[in-house]
Structure 1
Amino acid sequence: MPRDLQSLGEPVVFETAAEHVCTDVPVFAPDCRAAEARQGLTERRYECASHVVVCRDGRLCGMVRIEDLLPAPNHVTLATLMEQDPPVVAPGVDQEVVAWRAVRHAESALGMVDGEGRFVGLIPPYRMLAVLLAEHEEDLTRLGGFTKSTEAARSSSEEPVPRRFRHRLPWLLVGLLGALVAADLVGWFESQLQRTLMLAFFIPGLVYLADAVGTQTETVVVRGLSVGVAMRTMVRRELLAGLAIGLVLALVAGPLVWLRWSDPTVALCVGLAVLAACSTATITAMGLPWLLYRAGMDPAFGSGPLATVIQDLSTILIYFAIVTAVIG
C-alpha cells in the first residue's frame, strides 16, 4: 500500500486517475486456461490481484474477478470467464469520477487504458475507497461553509483566544474606520439636514435595509462558492433578485413615508434611495466574497465586515445624492 494511505491521519494527495494506477497486476492472454492463471498467481506476489486482466497485443479485452477465477474448472479459458466490456477510465480523469464510476458499475477495481485502448494498469479497491473517503470529507467541509479542509476548519474553531483576536480585530477596525467616514459624509450634507431635519430620520432605516439585502446575497454567494458553484451562474439571478427586492421596498416605503409625514418630496427621496441602495448592496455583496475567494481567503471571515462598511458608505452617498438632486 502507498505510504500516503498507510494511516488514516494522512490525506489522499492524488487528484487524477493516473496517480492511482497499479501496473504490477496479473495479465494473461484470452486463451489462457483457468488452471494456468491460478498457477501464475501463485508464482509471484502482485501489488493488486483482485482482478486478472485479459489482454491481447497489449490491448484490454476484459477482466476476471478473482472470486470467479478460483472456483472455475481447469479447462475453462479466461475469454469465457472475463467481463468483455469492463468499465475503464483514461489517465487524466478526475479521481472522484473514477470512484463513482466504479460504484455505478458495482466494480471494486477499474482498468485504465490510453487513447489507443492499450492497457495501462489497474486502479485497486483500496485506493478508490480512500478517494471516496477524501471526497466525502471535502464535500462535508464545503457544505459547512469552509473552502479549504477539515483540518483548517477545525483549527479555526479550536484556535486560542489571542489568535481569534488577531484574526477578527483587523476587520472590525475597518468597520470602525468606516463608521467615522460615514459621520464625515453626513456632515458634508449638514445644510440639507438643517433645511429638512426629517431627512435624518431615514438614514438608519436605509442603512439597515441595504445591509439586510446585502447580507442575504452574501450568504447565498458564500454558500455557493463553498460548494463549488461558479460565480457566473449566480450573478444574473442575484442581480435581478436585488433589483426586484429594491423596487418592491421602494414602492412600499415611498407611499408610507408620504402618508405618515405628509411630505411627498421626502417620500420620493426615500423611495429612490431604497431602490438604488438595495441594488448596489447586491453588487457589493456578490463582488467582495468573490474577490476574497479568488485571493485565497475565506470569504465567510472578512466579507461581512468589509461589505457592511462599503454598503453603509454607499447608501449614505446615494441617499444624499438623491436628496441634493431632488431638493437641492
Structure 2
Amino acid sequence: MSTTAVDPVGEAATRTAATHASVAVPVAAPHDSCRRILDEMRGRTFECAAAVAICAADGTLVGMATMERLLAAAGDTPVRDVMDPEPPTVTPATDQEEAAWRAVRRGESALGMVDGTGRFLGLIPPDRLLAVLLAEHDEDVARLGGFLGSSAVARSAATESVWRRLWHRLPWLLVGLGGALLAAAIVGAFEHQLRTQVLIAFFVPGVVYLAGAVGAQTVTLAIRGLAAGVGIGRIAFREAVTGPLLGVMFALVTFPLITVLWDEPRVAAAVAVALLVASSIATVLALALPWTLDRLGLDPAFGSGPLATVIQDLLSIVIYFLAATALVT
C-alpha cells in the first residue's frame, strides 16, 4: 500500500473539486488483502483514511473500499471483493457543489478525483465535502435574501460602522448631486422654449419620474437576477421589449388627457414622444449599469440606483426638451 503523491490542484479555480482533494490518502492494489491494508495503515498519518483508493498498476482508479467494509471483511479477503468497483468520481474542474452532492447521492464518505484518463489524483475527505455543502447553503440563503456573495458579506454590509456606510454611499450620491446641478443647467439652456410655452415646464417632473421609475424597476430586477445567479443576458431581451411597450402605453394615456385638459395637442405630443423614447432608453441603461458594475467587481446594489437615476434624469430632460423644441416652439 502507498499514498498518492500527485498534486491535483495546479491552477484550478478555487471553487472546483481540485482545491478540496487530499493526496495523503491510503492507496492499495486490487489483489491486496484486507488484513494487509489495515496492517500497513497502522502507525501512519493520513489526511483522509475514511476510504482506501484501489488502483491498478498504471495508477487508474478501479474501485474504493470504505473503512467499514475493510473492518467487516475476513482478513484474507482480497480488497477487490469488498470494494465499490464503480465509485463516484470527479475531475479537478468539477464544480465543488456538484462534487459534494455527487458524494451525498451515492452515500459515500469520500469522493475520488481522477483525470481525463481515469488516473487517480486524490480523495476529497468527508469534512471538506461537508464544508462545501455548508458554504453553498450559506450562499444560496444569501441569494434568496437578495444579497451578493455570501451571507457573511451581507451581514458585514448591514452592520458596518457609520463611517464605512458613508464611504460606500457618499461617492455615488455626490455623482447624483453633480447630476442635479447639470440638470438645472440643461433646463436653463431651454429658457426660450419655456418662455414661449410655459406649459412645457408643467410636465418635466412627470416625464422624469415615469422614465426613472421604469429604470428603477429594471435595475431592481437586474440586481435580483445577479444575486440569484441569473445573468443579465437572460432578462435583457424581455426588459428591452418591456420598456418601449410601457412607453407606448404612457403615450396613449397622456396624449388624450393633456389634449383634453389643457387644449394643447402639441405639448401633449411632446410629452408622449418623450415618454416613449425615455422609457425605451431607461430599460437598456438600467440593464447596462448593474452588469458593468458587477463586471468591475463593484456591488451593483450601491451604485446602480444613484448612477442610473442621475443619468436617466438627464437623458429624460434632454429628450423632453428636444421633443418640445421640435413639436411646440
Q: Does 2:248 match 1:228?
A: no
Q: Does 2:183 match 1:178?
A: no
Q: What does 1:30-49 correspond to in 2, within 5 Å?
A: 30-42=30-42, 44-49=44-49
Q: Structure 1 residues 51-60 or 136-145, which shifts more? A: 136-145
Per the alignment, residue 116 of structure 2 pairs with 115
| Secondary structure of the corresponding residue to residue 70 of structure 1 | helix
Distance 1:76 1:307, change over 3 A: same
Q: Give the Å deviation of 1:168.
A: 2.2
Q: What does 1:146-295 correspond to in 2, within 5 Å?
A: 146-295=147-296
Q: Structure 1 residues 291-300 or 26-35, which shifts more? A: 26-35
Per the alignment, residue 52 of structure 1 pairs with 52
Q: Is the 8 A contact 1:206 1:273 kept in 2?
A: yes
Q: Does 2:32 match 1:25?
A: no
Distance 1:289 1:256, change over 3 A: same
| Secondary structure of the corresponding residue to residue 65 of structure 2 | strand
Whole-angstrom distance in 2 between the partners of 1:87 and 1:138: 25
The one-letter code sitting in structure 1 at the alignment partner of 2:23 is T
Whole-angstrom distance in 2 between the partners of 1:218 and 1:105: 42
The one-letter code sitting in structure 2 at the alignment partner of 1:164 is R
Q: Give the Å deviation of 1:197.
A: 1.9
- Percent identity, aligned pairs only, is 53
TM-score, scaled to structure 1: 0.89
Whole-angstrom distance in 2 between the partners of 1:238 and 1:103: 39
| Secondary structure of the corresponding residue to residue 243 of structure 1 | helix
Q: Does 2:297 match 1:296?
A: yes
Distance 1:209 1:113, change over 3 A: same
Superposed CA offset, 1:132-185 (max 9, x none): 222222333344344344443333222222332333233222222222222222
Per the alignment, residue 321 of structure 1 pairs with 322
Q: Is the 8 A contact 1:145 1:300 kept in 2?
A: no
Q: Is the 8 A contact 1:179 1:309 kept in 2?
A: yes
The one-letter code sitting in structure 2 at the alignment partner of 1:98 is A
| Secondary structure of the corresponding residue to residue 203 of structure 2 | helix
- 5+ residue gaps in structure 2? 1-12
Whole-angstrom distance in 2 between the partners of 1:169 and 1:31: 69
| Secondary structure of the corresponding residue to residue 137 of structure 1 | helix
Whole-angstrom distance in 2 between the partners of 1:170 and 1:38: 64
When the two chains are superposed, the root-mean-square deviation of aligned CA atoms in Å is: 2.0
Superposed CA offset, 1:51-90 (max 9, x none): 1222221211111121122112334322221111111111
Q: Structure 1 residues 170-179 or 142-151, which shifts more? A: 142-151
Distance 1:166 1:119, change over 3 A: closer
Per the alignment, residue 131 of structure 1 pairs with 132
Superposed CA offset, 1:104-141 (max 9, x none): 32222111112221112111101111112222223333
Whole-angstrom distance in 1 between the partners of 2:67 and 2:167: 58
Q: Structure 1 residues 29-38 or 96-105, which shifts more? A: 29-38
The one-letter code sitting in structure 1 at the alignment partner of 2:132 is V
Whole-angstrom distance in 2 between the partners of 1:201 and 1:244: 24
Q: Give the Å deviation of 1:28.
A: 2.0
Q: Give the Å deviation of 1:217.
A: 0.3
- 5+ residue gaps in structure 1? 1-12
The one-letter code sitting in structure 2 at the alignment partner of 1:31 is H
Q: Give the Å deviation of 1:43.
A: 5.0
Q: Structure 1 residues 225-234 or 199-208, which shifts more? A: 225-234
Whole-angstrom distance in 2 between the partners of 1:133 and 1:212: 38
Q: Is the 8 A contact 1:251 1:271 kept in 2?
A: yes
Q: Give the Å deviation of 1:14.
A: 4.2
Whole-angstrom distance in 1 between the partners of 2:302 and 2:282: 18
Superposed CA offset, 1:253-283 (max 9, x none): 2222223223222221111111111111112
The one-letter code sitting in structure 1 at the alignment partner of 2:210 is L
TM-score, scaled to structure 2: 0.89
Whole-angstrom distance in 1 between the partners of 2:94 and 2:121: 14
Q: Give the Å deviation of 1:312.
A: 0.9
Q: Give the Å deviation of 1:313.
A: 0.9
The one-letter code sitting in structure 2 at the alignment partner of 1:259 is V
